[in-house]
Amino acid sequence: MKSDFSKKLEEKVKKTIEKYKMFNKKEKLLIALSGGKDSAALAYIMKKLGYEFECLHINVGIGQFSEFSEKYAKIQSRMLGCNLNILRVKELLGKSVNEISKARPVCSVCGITRRYLMNYFAFKKGFDVLITGHNLDDIAKFYFHNLFNGQITYLSSLRPVIPKEKKLVKKVKPLFFVREEETLKYVSLNSIEFNPIRCPYERFAKTKRYDTILNSIDLINKRFLHSFVRNLSNLIHPKEAEMKTCKVCGMPSNRDVCSFCKIWNRKEPLVI
């Protein structure tokens, strides 16, 4: 049973990678390794499929949660035998995410910071592809949130592949059609350790409110989420917005000063 389930999930991820031409074995790959089950399962599967890669862990400084996240990211990278790069927000920026979160919700600051640092690191270090462990449940909740709030333009960032554009590294989601319950079963069957602690701010996340809705639909139709995400992703077209350049860091932005530099009150680019 262990072998059959693992092989089927590995084959599903392999087909997604190939169908969307996410990356090949000649490219320099970077996996965002959070210490949680999803990115751990993804990294383990990619290793089984014969890919070489480095990992990046971002410690945002949220107490015990971040301490455990870094601890398990180290355990996972050792098991995989791959290089783990670690960025600690407090060391890099002088404060942790929850220390800077005053005008904005913690989850908003955390998301903006993580996304910026992942791309900035990948770009500066010459990686061809940035790979994240977003699963089908994550994508469905983001779709619901943006649809219900009329934020249609944001849907374009929730595709399996976001092509490289200027200083924005190509980003891919190989677990796009993998359920959260599948990654949990996979790490359990393959004895992969992961952070058992949930983020204390998780209950405040905007997408959390859709758990009840999606779980209710899931009880009626197990295939709904897969069909919903697949069909909607096929309808989404990349937004054609002219990108500016942040006056502070020089990275792409839709305004004169990017959200990251504005939140962290940056006066000059980071040195990584």
Predicted TM-score (pTM) of the model is 0.91
What does the pLDDT look like over 224-242, one tens digit per residue? 888 888 877 777 766 656 7
Q: Which of 94, 80, 68 is nearest to 31 (CA)?
A: 80
Number of structural domains found in the chain: 1
Domain membership flag for residue 270: no
Q: Could you identify the residue written with the tokens 């996340």?
A: 205
Contacts of 116 (CB under 8 A, 6+ apart): 251, 258, 259, 260
- On whether residue 154 sits in a domain, the answer given is yes
DSSP-assigned letter for residue 35: S
Task: Give the start-end residues of each E strand in the chain.
Answer: 29-32, 54-59, 84-88, 129-131, 161-162, 170-172, 244-245, 252-253
What is the Cα–Cα distance from 272 to 270, expressed in whole angstroms? 6
Q: Is 217 a domain residue? A: yes
Mean predicted confidence (pLDDT) in 156-162: 84
Coil, strand or helix at 84: strand
CB neighbour list of residue 138: distance below 8 Å, 6 or more residues apart: 38, 180, 207
| CA dist., res. 45 & res. 6, Å (int) | 9
- Other beta carbons within 10 Å of 26: 8
Identify the CATH number of the domain in which residue 46 sits.
3.40.50.620
Q: Are 32 and 133 in contact (CB under 8 A)?
A: yes
pLDDT score at 178: 96
Looking at per-residue confidence, does 232 or 185 come out higher?
185
What's the domain range around 210?
2-263
Contact 101, 109 (CB under 8 A): yes
Q: Tell me what pLDDT residue 101 has.
A: 67
In a domain? residue 269: no
Tell me the average pLDDT of the chain: 90
The tokens for 183 are 């990654």
In a domain, 40, yes or no: yes
Note whether residue 174 is domain-resident: yes
Q: Which long-range contacts (CB under 8 A, 24 or more apart) does 16-21 make?
A: 16/160, 16/174, 16/175, 16/176, 16/177, 17/49, 17/172, 17/174, 20/160, 20/161, 20/172, 21/161
More confident residue, 130 or 225: 130
Kindly state whether residue 271 falls inside one of the protein's structural domains: no
Is residue 226, in this structure, part of any structural domain at all?
A: yes
